[in-house]
Chain A
Amino acid sequence: MNASTFNLFASLDWSDIGMATLETLTMVGGSLLFTVLLGLPLGVVLFLTGPRQPLEHARLYAALSLLVNLIRSTPFVILLIILIPVTVTLIGTSIGVPGAIPPLVIGATPFFARLVENVLREVDRGIIEASQAMGATLPQIVFGALLPETFPGLLAAITVTAITLVSYAAMSGVIGGGGLGDLAIRFGYQRFQSDVMFVTVAVLLLLVQALQVFGDRLVQRFSHK
């Protein structure tokens, strides 16, 4: 058993796996940053323009909501392919780590924005009302009350999004995105090297597990409910 296990991994190039892991981390980290930067404001606007909210605006809300649903309902593999021309226009290439980041951001931003909207909706209306009664402007309500109040919830949303991005990043291997997904497809799938496939999945699992534990710890740390 031990010997056969040893043999199974004998042909593995661990440096390839190390490199691919690093690429995946870069793709996830980079796209997570932009996803949060774009998705947080989008989520806040979705919340504020929603029904019975301070900036209630039925048409704007419906339009944003449709856009979000449109992207979210498109399978990510399809989205990756559709977005190739956009990515090329944006950064000049559609492959490798940089080429994977724009579709990852575009795919994950609506997802994250919807999570943000839901987190904000959980805030007791009384807190908005109390802030208004104190004479807070809308930006003061958002930055002084809503975002601090939902900070743990937002951290949880970022954790979920990061984990989603790990699987999206792996999928981007299909269009030459680099990272663990790329490795799994080229070696594990096309060359029938099951050992590569196995190790790739194991590393992805470790990554997801680590993100979840770290995210949960952060949420715990900032939660005062």
Chain B
Amino acid sequence: MIEIDNISKHYVVDGVAIPAISGISLRVEAGEVFGIIGVSGAGKSTLVRTLNLLERPDSGRIRVDGSDITTLSKDQLLRYRRKTGMIFQHFNLISAKTVGENIRFPLKLAGEYTRAEMDRRVDELLDLVELGGHRDKYPAQLSGGQKQRVGIARALANHPKLLLCDEATSALDPQTTQSILSLLLDINRRFGLTIVLITHEMDVIRRICDRVAVLDRGVLVEEGVVADVLLHPQHEITRALVQESCPSATTGQRLGLSGPLFRLTFLGAVTYQPILQSISAALDVGFNIVEGVVGRIKETPYGQITVQALGDAADPARIAAAFGEHAVRCEALPS
């Protein structure tokens, strides 16, 4: 759906050119939830803003459904933007307008609907985001999560095919974040809406993204299916982002453990099978779990644990082969 081809953008600050993003190429497929993660200042905000040309790249092409949006005329760009929703970290609602009027605003801009049609659409959207009774309230009377729901309803008003999310949950508490993420995932499934989101929180990527790109100082350093990137991060920056919630490769040194250490990665149905026990019995090796996490990446169960192999028969090659047979990835860690 989106093909980003070698785009760059720089800003001039006090007469000095500062690159924001450099030579980024990406593909986003229709219907997927694509996450872009990076620390602040990595250029993710600039990148997502190029997708509706709030930021115009200095060079490169961005094709959406086959047509290059950087060459659109003024009118075409307005029409494209009306079909591309966007939500923001600070919601950006108009405080002088009621919830209903805020949602109505993009409908008015489109100029294609009668009053009655707009009223009906506003009610429909309010139901969708579960704010049925709040139509005549002002944004100041709503909680952060409710404001973001209004933002989502407003972004969806003109039936967009693409939704851009700029740190949409960063100003929300963890519980509200979960409910907003569930809503986004629900919308993605029900309407086949493509979502591109940027975040600095790995948990957001883990919860709803299909694929992820990692940005560091304006450069794309890693990209792939979320489970791969999360469980086997290649780039140092990715490891740093993942580390907060995943076991690291330096566990052995950190815990001061001797003896062969292995990191086992379970993905999918194997996560809930008693593989550790069966291999322990088959090889006559004891396993001491020293660290680990079991959870879900989007809907896929996964587990990643670090074990210490105990016993005379603890031969790394045999152990790795045994786990390999069960489709469990096994890496020997330096001890």
Contact = CB atoms under 8 A, between A and B. Distances in A.
Query: Considering residues B96, B108, B154, which has the most beta carbons from chain A within 10 angstroms of its beta carbon?
Result: B96
B92 A124 contact: yes
B199 interface: no
Contacts of B108: 144
B54 A129 contact: yes
Contact of A140 (B77, B79, B91, B109): B109
B138 interface: yes
B140 interface: yes
Given A129-B54, A144-B108, A135 B78 contact: yes
Interface residues of B, number: 29
A225 B97 CA distance: 10
Contacts of A144: 105, 108-109
Interface in B73-87: 77-82, 84, 86
A140 B94 CA distance: 13
Given A133-B52, A134-B106, A144-B109, A149 B82 contact: no
Given A134-B105, A135-B81, A126 B96 contact: no
A127 interface: yes
A137 interface: yes
A132 B81 contact: yes
A145 interface: yes
Given A124-B90, A135-B79, A224 B54 contact: no
Contact of B140 (A133, A149, A222, A225): A225
Given A133-B54, A134-B81, A224 B92 contact: no
A152 interface: yes
Contacts of A140: 109
Contacts of B54: 129, 132-133
A148 B97 contact: yes
A53 to B, nearest CB: 14
The A interface, classified by DSSP as helix, strand, loop or mixed, is: helix
A22 interface: no
A220 to B, nearest CB: 13
Contact of B109 (A136, A149, A224): A136
Interface string B271-290: 00000000000000000000
Nearest to A127: B92
Contact-residue bracket for chain A:
20 to 34
A126 B92 contact: yes
A211 B109 CA distance: 37
B96 A135 contact: no
B105 A145 contact: yes
B88 interface: yes
Contacts of A12: none
Contacts of A132: 54, 81
B138 A224 contact: yes
Contacts of A133: 52, 54, 81, 84, 86, 164
Given A129-B54, A132-B81, A135-B78, A152 B105 contact: no
A130 B54 CA distance: 10
A151 interface: yes
A166 B77 CA distance: 48
B95 interface: yes
Interface in A140-163: 140, 144-145, 148-152
28 contacts: A126-B88, A126-B91, A130-B92, A130-B93, A132-B81, A133-B52, A133-B81, A134-B86, A134-B106, A134-B109, A135-B77, A135-B80, A135-B81, A135-B82, A135-B109, A136-B78, A137-B78, A144-B108, A144-B109, A148-B94, A148-B97, A149-B94, A149-B95, A149-B96, A150-B96, A152-B96, A224-B95, A224-B138
Interface of B: 52, 54, 77-82, 84, 86, 88, 90-97, 105-106, 108-110, 138-140, 154, 164
Given A135-B78, A135-B80, A148-B96, 7 more contacts: A130-B92, A133-B84, A134-B82, A135-B81, A137-B78, A150-B96, A224-B96
The 9 closest A-B pairs by CB, nearest first: A135-B81, A135-B82, A126-B92, A130-B92, A224-B138, A133-B86, A135-B78, A134-B106, A148-B96
